[in-house]
A = this chain, B = another copy of it.
């Protein structure tokens, strides 16, 4: 096997897992998990989104999104608003409670970004991000 790819995959996995551990720990007292905070981020940026919008942003399957959205709703962080025209469809918005925790989530993310980027320039970050995106798009279009 090509050792270059094995190393690459290993470091991607390590970075991913370490971040999951970090963010779960940082948001534990808020009751928000690593699987859930990502939706809040997008709902802070956009007044209102549908589940379909979130699926398109993160490429996460419908069942998993439904689970996370339900959990966030149960904990009072989001509200689902029924669509008048299509009763099976919902619009999702953050609640006051979620707005109050916004700075906590952003601070945690900022601390992480500062930490991992200590020896990485903006130029390098941009380039890495572009290449990872190229790889991801290939992965997503594999059918």
Is residue A53 contacting chain B, with contact meaning CB distance below 8 A?
no
Total copies of the chain: 2
Chain A interface residue count, CB cutoff 8 Å, equals 53
Return chain B residues, CB-CB under 8 Å to A134.
Answer: 119-120
Is residue A7 contacting chain B, with contact meaning CB distance below 8 A?
yes
A-B contact pairs, 12 of them (CB 8 A): A1-B109, A4-B122, A5-B117, A5-B125, A7-B129, A13-B16, A14-B59, A15-B135, A18-B142, A19-B139, A115-B139, A116-B138
What CA separation (Å) do A22 and B106 show in the bound complex?
Answer: 31
Q: State the main secondary structure of chain A at its contact with B.
A: helix
Is residue A81 contacting chain B, with contact meaning CB distance below 8 A?
no
Is residue A101 contacting chain B, with contact meaning CB distance below 8 A?
no
What CA separation (Å) do A7 and B131 show in the bound complex?
Answer: 12
B8, B118, B133, B136: the one contacting A132 at CB < 8 Å is B8
Which residues A25-67 have CB closer than 8 A to chain B?
38, 41, 57-60
